[in-house]
């Protein structure tokens, strides 16, 4: 198995006394894409927020390249190469598209050989006609392109994506997944939450299934597709 990029060990998180995660352990090997699956409320977003430092765990360990980060500030975690694209995109709505992209270079602390705006337009051509436009006035699909382009430009070692297809047309989602697949092919590790389970498992090497804050199944993406635990987790939340 490749060297672990990220490891969660016995992670538990609570909100106001309500347990959101219970003893969650998972591994993202170097250069692998891992899908985190489960119904709404299963704890998927909380897992990403804990990794990026936005919530503090009650117990457990989070290790990035062997270093414990569960008590590290979000901006420090980001500077280490962990990039989080949250549900809702997380763009700076009052800045222009170009200014949003330039923030990636600022956060990285170094200049790229190819300007970040040029990189973004090459990957997402529709942004080329929107560079002077305020990000908050873009369509939903264009906002998601901007969020992804900014994340890619930051040259992450681990990219965490939370429901990038939410509210988007299938054709737009397909284009976004093409871009994600291209970035994954460069060896960037990914942790992916996605409502389109087949698409997520088609991209992933490995997957974990969360149900009510606990890991109930894990395995190769193809095995999870064929198994019953994933369907049971979604069905259980609907009952």
The residue written with tokens 């992450």 in the block is 156
In a domain, residue 119? The reply is: no
Under the banding of pLDDT at 50, 70 and 90, the label for residue 229 is low
- The reply to whether the predicted model has a pTM over 0.85 is yes
Which pair of tokens denotes residue 212? 């009510």
Give the model confidence (pLDDT) of 14-45 as tens digits: 998 899 999 999 999 999 999 999 999 999 99
Pairing of strands 67-68, 82-85: unpaired
200 domain-assigned: yes
Q: Does residue 43 lie in a domain region?
A: yes
What is the domain-level CATH number for residue 33?
3.40.50.300
* Domain contains 209: yes
Each residue's pLDDT tens digit, 144-176? 999 999 999 888 999 999 999 988 888 889 989
pLDDT tens column, 178-228: 999 999 999 999 999 998 888 899 999 999 999 999 999 999 998 887 766
The tally of domains found in the chain comes to: 1
Q: Which two tokens stand for residue 75?
A: 């901006």
Quick check: 6 and 191 in contact, CB under 8 A? yes
> What span, in angstroms and rounded, lies between the C-alpha atoms of 140 and 131?
16
**pLDDT confidence of residue 211:** 94
* Residue 219 within any structural domain of the chain: yes
> 53 in a domain, yes or no?
yes
Minimal CA–CA distance to 96: which of 144, 63, 131, 120? 131
Buried b (16+ CB within 10 A) or exposed e, 154-184: bbbbbbbbbbbbeebeeebbebbbebbeebb
Residue-level pLDDT at 137: 95
Q: Does 230 reside within a domain?
A: yes
- The residue range of the domain holding 54 is 1-69+159-164+191-239
Please give, one letter per residue, the 3-state secondary structure of 125-170: HHHHHCCCCEHHHCCHHHHHHHHHHHHHHCCCCEEEEECCCCCCCH
Tokens of 129: 């006609």
pLDDT band (50, 70, 90) for residue 234? low
pLDDT score at 95 = 94
Domain-embedded: residue 179:
no
């Amino acid at each position: 198995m490749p060297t672990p990029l990220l490891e969660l060990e016995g992670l538990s998180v609570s909100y106001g006394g309500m347990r959101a995660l219970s003893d969650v352990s998972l591994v993202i090997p170097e250069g692998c894409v891992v899908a985190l699956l489960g119904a709404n409320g299963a704890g998927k977003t909380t897992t990403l927020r804990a990794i990026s430092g936005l919530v503090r765990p009650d117990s457990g360990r989070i290790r990035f390249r062997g270093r414990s980060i569960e008590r590290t500030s979000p901006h420090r975690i980001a500077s280490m190469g962990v990039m989080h694209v949250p549900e809702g995109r997380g763009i700076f709505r009052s800045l222009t598209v170009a200014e949003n992209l330039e923030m990636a270079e600022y956060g990285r602390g170094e200049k790229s050989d190819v300007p970040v705006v040029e990189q973004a337009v090459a990957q997402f051509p529709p942004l080329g006609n929107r560079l002077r436009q305020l990000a908050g006035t873009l369509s939903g699909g264009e906002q998601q392109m901007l969020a992804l382009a900014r994340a890619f430009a930051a040259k992450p070692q681990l990219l965490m994506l939370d429901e990038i297809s939410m509210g988007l047309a299938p054709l737009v989602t397909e284009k976004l997944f093409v871009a994600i697949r291209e970035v994954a092919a460069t060896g960037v590790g990914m942790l992916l939450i996605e409502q389109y389970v087949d698409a997520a498992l088609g991209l992933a090497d490995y997957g974990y299934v969360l149900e009510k804050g606990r890991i109930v199944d894990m395995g190769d993406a193809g095995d999870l597709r064929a198994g019953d635990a994933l369907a049971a987790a979604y069905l259980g939340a609907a009952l």
